[in-house]
Chain A
């Protein structure tokens, strides 16, 4: 019981930390990293719902869901990183806040 509690509170804490960083950080790589931490928190919470000290009572359904989720999160991370590189290529900066003003300034200079 205490194990379930410890790990599920950790999962929630990880999710909230990742969420805070997702809002506050401005660099795109950091935002993607923060999303990965959020995903880890969700997975931890899901797995603890399946946990039982007795191996016969382990619930395989959340485990299969988390397995699927890990692969999906890796593939979405890869796609997000390709997109971030593309953003850097077209706008010259991967820092989210400066995206629009940067282009405007450039246009005014010319």
Chain B
């Protein structure tokens, strides 16, 4: 009786977890906003660590929580910030070019 109840609770937990995982992955890959996508990826990584614990892999859970969520997110955000900065510089240069062209014409 007890084990049967346990089984149902665990299966319910599993189903909730994978629904959340798949939903986060879908949202992260389909959103227009890259910042939002990265944040969703970080939360996906944390839930993934929960899944590793559920699957009796504590070593992998530790590594995922520290690397997958803690390090990959900042990596993406730093790259994103650098790209934004480069893009702004590019836009400014283009605007300058256009102004020069206008003046010439």
- Residues of A whose CB lies within 8 Å of any CB of B are 2-3, 6-7, 10, 13-14, 17-18, 20-21, 25, 27, 29-30, 32-34, 36-37, 40, 43-44, 47-48, 50-52, 55, 58, 63-64, 66-67, 70-71, 74, 77-78, 81-82, 84-85, 88-89, 92-94
Contact = CB atoms under 8 A, between A and B. Distances in A.
Given A3-B55, A7-B55, A37-B29, 5 more contacts: A29-B80, A34-B29, A70-B64, A74-B72, A77-B72
Interface residues of B, number: 42
Given A10-B18, A33-B29, A37-B29, A47 B86 contact: no
B38 interface: yes
Contacts of B80: 29
Nearest to A58: B56
A37 B24 CA distance: 11
A25 B22 CA distance: 18
B67 A71 contact: yes
Contacts of A33: 28-29, 37-38, 41, 76
Residues of A contacting B: mostly: helix
Nearest to B11: A2
A32 to B, nearest CB: 8
B21 A55 contact: no
Interface in B2-45: 10-11, 14-15, 18, 21-22, 25-26, 28-30, 34, 37-38, 41, 44-45
Contact of B55 (A34, A51, A74): A51
B12 to A, nearest CB: 11
A82 to B, nearest CB: 8
A71 B34 contact: no
